[in-house]
Amino acid sequence: MEFIKRSLIVSLFLSTTFAIIGASAKPTPEAPVAPSRTDAPENRLIVEEKATAAIPRGDRNFVYCIEANPTTFSPQVAYDTSTFTVVRGIFNRLVDFEQGSTKVIPSIAKSWSMSGDGRAITFTLRKDVFFHSTGDFSPTRPLNADDVIYTFERMRNQAHPLHKLGGGNYQYYQALEMDKIIKNIVKVDTYKVKFVLDRPEASILANLGMDFASIISQEYAEHLLKQKKIANFDIHPVGSGPFIFSGFEKNKFVELKRNNRYFLGPAKVANLKILIFTDAVERAKNLVSGACHLIANPRYEDIKDLRENPALKVVNQPGLNIFYIAFNVNREPFNKLEVRQAVNHALNKLRYIKDGFQGFAQVAKNPIPPNMWGFNKSIVDFDYNPTKAKELLKKAGYAKGFTTTYNYMSESRPYNPNGLKVAELMVQDLAKVGIQVKLVTYPWQEYLQKAQKRDFDMLQMGWTGDNGDPDNFLNVLLSCAGVDGGTNYSGWCDKRFSFLIGRARVTTNIVQRTRFYEEAQVLFRAQSPWSPIAHTTVFRAMKKNVVGYRMSPFGVDTFYTVDLK
């Protein structure tokens, strides 16, 4: 890629005071966005020969540049990685994951014990965890068992005063069947709480380390209810995490400041400023110019240039992820198995890996990644076979093909940095077997809403694991419970598949669990509600002086230990 000397005008939005704009308001509906060419010259990474740092290091500000707006500031209703990255710095959970690992470690709960029958787990809470203060609210006590119960009652009790706030759609809670697993939550004493389970649940601790289980403040909610301003609860979030919410302007920034009262000690940097650049090229430009210290998901096309820049460093790891095409199995023609099989045979995955992912991915054949336990190695993937695809279409009654729509991602994601490029390659392949495809896209929040409502024919979608357990993929994305919870986008509900996933969840024997998951993947292959495409390598690019950063297997960036040297 050619290096072109060019000065950049960068707006940093780094003023001390930011106007707070409601994040939970519904976006104005927009018409589908027509795709633009991916090979246009303006999409190249434009860099300066010498980048001048735009951020005074003495300010101890850290600037992270991200690819999308947070869809909400409520972790209970959040469902995307960009939002998780923001709220994870604001809130804590009973348990957490060791940095850079899937190992569950204490957090708000300093210890826990499981009953012999696996149907009860008792958490002992720390006594030094305090919620943040706002301009008109200050907590009068440390976080305690009341807050834990209040958090889960919001999701499980329809009569709870916060239940319908933010739409009342608790996708993770429902998709993980937490409403069926948790029978009761009992306050043992002020700093001890017991979860009574309806059945043993092998992944319960890992699930409680996920963002939907972030603990919220009962005092703050009651304060806003008294003022009749409860809508502010999810607009101006109050957590107990290392950073305090300070401001948000849509499509521009989120600002967080250091919580000097954090129970593990203050973060290294005083302010965390998150700038929003939906265009990956713009993120890279702003990293090179000095406007960003670290960027999420650089384009694969830019990795070589970024690595060669002496002022930068690039880190990567195999993603715990899946990029796939979901078929709406409840809509013609994808309600026919032969059509879904035909599309699988029509797609040249190796070509997409080479030309769409620049080689930074591997072909997917299962709905879970190969670096996760439970992966079924014996599954035979669909071969690229246009002739076979035409035969299957003829068998399904579409000898002359058909016309359909394909929703693609206009914003880069960890599992799909260039949605349009991959979509264009697929359109070419599908045309060869008689399937004419119209490409459409939407702003990210609207895109997700349409996916949840299953308002599509074919859909680009992906997933990055939240807790290191296969259940987080197979149950959330493909079970019948996921259909109701809004995370099973294809709408495929196979009772045998869900039975196997359910059996795996109630045993802690890893060998038995693996067998159940392997059989479930056989069923997935036979019914083909998706076309699994790729497992990607995930990249982060940053300034050379960034220290203390570690990539997460879950694709969520955290900044508690990050500093500038």
- Residue 169 predicted with pLDDT over 70: yes
Beta-sheet pairing, 361-363 with 530-543: antiparallel
Which neighbouring-strand residues pair with 437?
404
pLDDT at 58: 41
Identify whether the C-beta of residue 225 lies closer than 8 Å to the C-beta of residue 242. no
Kindly report the three-state secondary structure assignment for every residue of 377-406: CCCCCCCCCHHHHHHHHHHCCCCCCEEEEE
Q: Answer whether 0.85 is exceeded by the pTM.
A: no
State how far the alpha carbon of 386 is from the alpha carbons of 326, 352, 414, 428, 529, in Å. 20, 16, 30, 12, 19
Model confidence pLDDT, tens digit, residues 305-347: 999 999 999 999 999 999 999 999 999 999 999 999 999 999 9
Reduced to 3 states (helix: H, G, I; strand: E, B; else coil), residue 512 is helix
Identify whether the C-beta of residue 497 lies closer than 8 Å to the C-beta of residue 483. no
- Residue 50 predicted with pLDDT over 60: no
Output the CA torsion sign for 82, 10, 25, 413: negative
In the structure encoding, which two tokens stand for residue 206, read together?
A: 């890992």
d(CA 527, CA 524): 5
d(CA 558, CA 415): 19
DSSP conformation class of 20: B
d(CA 528, CA 243): 43
Identify whether the C-beta of residue 370 lies closer than 8 Å to the C-beta of residue 362. yes
d(CA 408, CA 441): 5
d(CA 91, CA 243): 8
Task: Pick the more confident residue, 113 or 166.
Answer: 113
Which of 17, 8, 14 is closest to 56 using CA atoms?
Answer: 14
Query: Binning pLDDT at 50, 70 and 90, where does residue 349 land?
Result: very high
- As a whole number, the mean pLDDT across the chain is 89
pLDDT at 484: 85
Which of 50, 547, 7 is closest to 311 using CA atoms?
Answer: 50
- Residue 13 predicted with pLDDT over 70: no
Query: Binning pLDDT at 50, 70 and 90, where does residue 59 land?
Result: low
d(CA 357, CA 534): 9
- Residue 22 predicted with pLDDT over 60: no
d(CA 185, CA 151): 11
Query: Binning pLDDT at 50, 70 and 90, where does residue 444 land?
Result: confident
Helices (H) and strands (E) in the chain, counts: 17, 20
Kindly report the three-state secondary structure assignment for every residue of 173-231: HHHCCHHHHEEEEEEEECCEEEEEECCCCCCHHHHHCCHHHCCCCHHHHHHHHHHCCHH
Which neighbouring-strand residues pair with 76?
none
Model confidence pLDDT, tens digit, residues 66-125: 998 999 999 999 988 889 999 999 999 999 999 988 999 999 999 999 999 999 999 999
In the structure encoding, which two tokens stand for residue 186, read together?
A: 């009992």
Backbone φ and ψ of 465, nearest 5°: -55, 145
d(CA 425, CA 347): 9
Those residues whose C-beta lies under 8 Å from the C-beta of residue 61, and which sit 6 or more positions away, are 14, 55, 269, 270, 271, 272, 273
Q: To 10 degrees, the CA torsion angle through 486, 490, 494, 500? A: -70
CA 62 distance to own-chain centroid:
22
Provide, rounded to the nearest whole percent, the portion of the chain with pLDDT above 90. Answer: 81
Place of tokens 């700093």: 191
d(CA 163, CA 143): 21
Q: What is the mean pLDDT of residues 376-391?
A: 98
Q: What is the mean pLDDT of residues 445-454?
A: 93
Identify whether the C-beta of residue 413 lies closer than 8 Å to the C-beta of residue 462. yes
pLDDT at 508: 85
**DSSP track, 70-130:** -S-S-TTT--SHHHHHHHHTT---SEEE-TTS--EEESSEEEEEE-TTSSEEEEEEPS---
pLDDT at 307: 97
- Residue 60 predicted with pLDDT over 90: no
- Residue 9 predicted with pLDDT over 70: no
Backbone φ and ψ of 546, nearest 5°: -80, 130
Model confidence pLDDT, tens digit, residues 523-532: 999 999 999 9
pLDDT at 26: 34
Q: What is the mean pLDDT of residues 419-443?
A: 97
d(CA 223, CA 192): 24
d(CA 548, CA 546): 7
Cα atoms in the 13 Å half-sphere on the side-chain side of 139: 21
- Residue 55 predicted with pLDDT over 50: no
Check whether the bond before 142 is cis (ω within 30° of 0). Answer: no
Reduced to 3 states (helix: H, G, I; strand: E, B; else coil), residue 40 is coil
Provide, rounded to the nearest whole percent, the portion of the chain with pLDDT above 70. Answer: 90
* Amino acid type, 273: K
The residue length of the chain stands at 565
Q: To 10 degrees, the CA torsion angle through 437, 439, 444, 450? A: -40
- Residue 564 predicted with pLDDT over 60: yes
d(CA 554, CA 74): 19
Query: Binning pLDDT at 50, 70 and 90, where does residue 63 land?
Result: very high
